[in-house]
Structure formats: structure tokens, C-alpha cells
Amino acid sequence: MTLEFISLEDRRIIDGPVDKLMQMSPVKYRTPIEIMEKSMRDNWFHWDVPLVDDLNQYRSLDDKTRRAIQKDLGFLSNLDGIQLNTLANSIGRYITAPEYRMALVRQTYEEEIHVLTYDRMISSLDMDPIETYNLFMTDELLRTKNEHIIKMAEILGDDYSGENFVRAIAANQALEGVYFQMGFKVFYVVHKRGKLGGCAQNIRYINRDEMSHLRIFNSMWRDLKAERPELFTPTVLKDCREIIKQAALMEVQWGCHIIDGGILGLTDHIVEGHVKHNANMVVGAVGLEPVFPEVTKDPLAWTDTYLREHGIETNFFEQKVLEYEDKPLEW
């Protein structure tokens, strides 16, 4: 291994020299460092939230709602596992800027916490873990969805290029900003009826983390576009919008599937409107046109109150990292 000095001017997000010593000062890309340090201050563990009351409350729900929750946890646990592997084995391999490399290492750690948290929730609700984790074996729609997400996660694969890296950013924006979000809202809907407070609090912690993850990829998009504008061709931008759009269409289909006609006031129409609104916000945050221009309102806007409490910033599609009171979430 040859050690050499890498100047700030030579530092690049991708295709640059690799600083094996991870020299951090001076900082070139400030936003990922701010996000990472904010996440460190908000550190939490999967054992922090008591779940002792959730089992009896879960058992008091009707069969359809319980089944929706199990399917929801089956997908969410799969999704964080997919993302953990993607960060470690795919997109992270090609990043040469130490600021972004460190931010993604922190994100990978948080995905591990999420995987452990879902496992604890599944066990606490007395679900069969093998059945829940492997729902994709019996649910064809979930299998198709997981396979599509894995395919998107492997965009770089053996065909790395700067253009494909941009597409990979879009795939990660879809994962953090589209696929996760409806799954979180199921727990907020159930908690609105006074049930599963411990699980809902765990989801709020996870939701907060995913906000930060989306900000990382939004920042990466902006910084890379400023650094390598030639990568953002009309064809690439069209593909990125299509990645977000397809994610939304699959998420609508899945959301309607798990609620099976509706649970606790959550309907197919609400699912569709919420998911498509999220997709519009994701593309809008990086300057792209809405993928569903006919959707202008979020029918689940009331769930923003779950994120506003204690000063948590609700507009996670934007770049700015806002401080909020560092104390446990209360109910």
C-alpha cells in the first residue's frame, strides 16, 4: 500500500483517490458530517423501548389488523436487511470521499439496529419469526417486491459507471423515502386507536433515522451534480424518475394488499394518495418534476404530528439538518 497526500481539490465523491487514512480536516462535503454527528447525538438501542403492554393490545385487535401488522413487519424487516447489505457491499464500495464513506458506515450501523428492533418487535408480539421473516416464500406479491428492490440495489453490479451511480442514488432515495414510509404509517394508524404504543415508539425512532438516511442521499445527489454535471443527462434523469415512480406503484400495491380492503380507517385510496405524495416529495427534493402531478395533498398528513413532537423535523425530504430536543419520546 502506498500512502500519499490527497489535497482537498482532488477529493471526489466517486472516481477519486482513496484516502486510506480517512483524513477528515479540512472538510469538503459538510452536510454528511452534520447528518452523521446528529445521528450520533440521537443514538438509541433496540432494547430501549418497553414492549410489555403491546402483546395483549395486539391480541385484542381483529384478525385482519393483526395479519396486516405481521405482513408489515415481514416486509420492513426484509427491507432493512436488504439495505444493510446494499450499503456494505454495493454503493459504499464506490465512494471515495471520506465524509460520505463515514456517513454511510454510520447508516449501516443504524440499519443493524433496525434489524434487531424489528426482531424484538416480532418476538414481543409472539409472532412466529420464521413465518414472518419468510412471508415472501408464501406471498407472491412480497416476493416480487423484494426481488425488484434487490435488483435496484444491484444497479451498479458488474457494470459500474458514473451514470449508473446516479441511478443507484435514486434507488436508495426510493428505498428510504418511498418503500419504508407506508410501513411506518400502519403503526401510527394503530397507535391512534390507543394500541401498540411501544412498537409505535420504536417506529418513530426508526423513522427518524430513515429521515437522516434520505438526507444523505439527497446531499450526495446535489454534491455530485455540482461536481460531475455531465453524469446527469436527460436519459439518466428520466431513469431516476422512473425508479421512484415504479417504487411508488409497487408500494401502493403492497399497501393495499396488506390492509385487505381497509383497517382502522386506512383505505386503499388513502394508501395510494400518501405513497404517491411521498414519491413527489422525493423527486422534488432534488429538483425533478413530480412523478404524479395529479397528487398535491397527503391524506395522511395528520401523521406529521408523530414527528413534530419534541421538535423532530418533519420535512425529511429537504437537505437542512435541524436540531431538536434530545430526550426520549413520550406518550
Q: Which residues are catalytic?
A: 118
CA separation (Å) from 41 to 36, 115, 322? 9, 20, 13
| 131 annotated as ligand-binding | no
| 114 annotated as ligand-binding | yes
* Interior angle at CA 190, CA 176 and CA 139, nearest 5: 60
CA separation (Å) from 274 to 177, 195, 209, 215, 312? 12, 22, 20, 20, 20
| 9 annotated as ligand-binding | no
| 269 annotated as ligand-binding | no
CA separation (Å) from 239 to 14, 58, 167, 168, 234? 20, 42, 7, 11, 9
Angle between helices 197-227 and 98-124 (to 10 degrees): 160
| 210 annotated as ligand-binding | yes
Nearest to 99 by CA among 172, 28, 9: 28
d(CA 257, CA 192): 21
Q: Which residues pair with 262 in a beta bridge?
A: none
| 277 annotated as ligand-binding | no
Q: Residue positions in the annotated binding site?
A: 80, 111, 114, 176, 210, 213
Residue set of the binding site for Fe cation? 80, 111, 114, 176, 210, 213
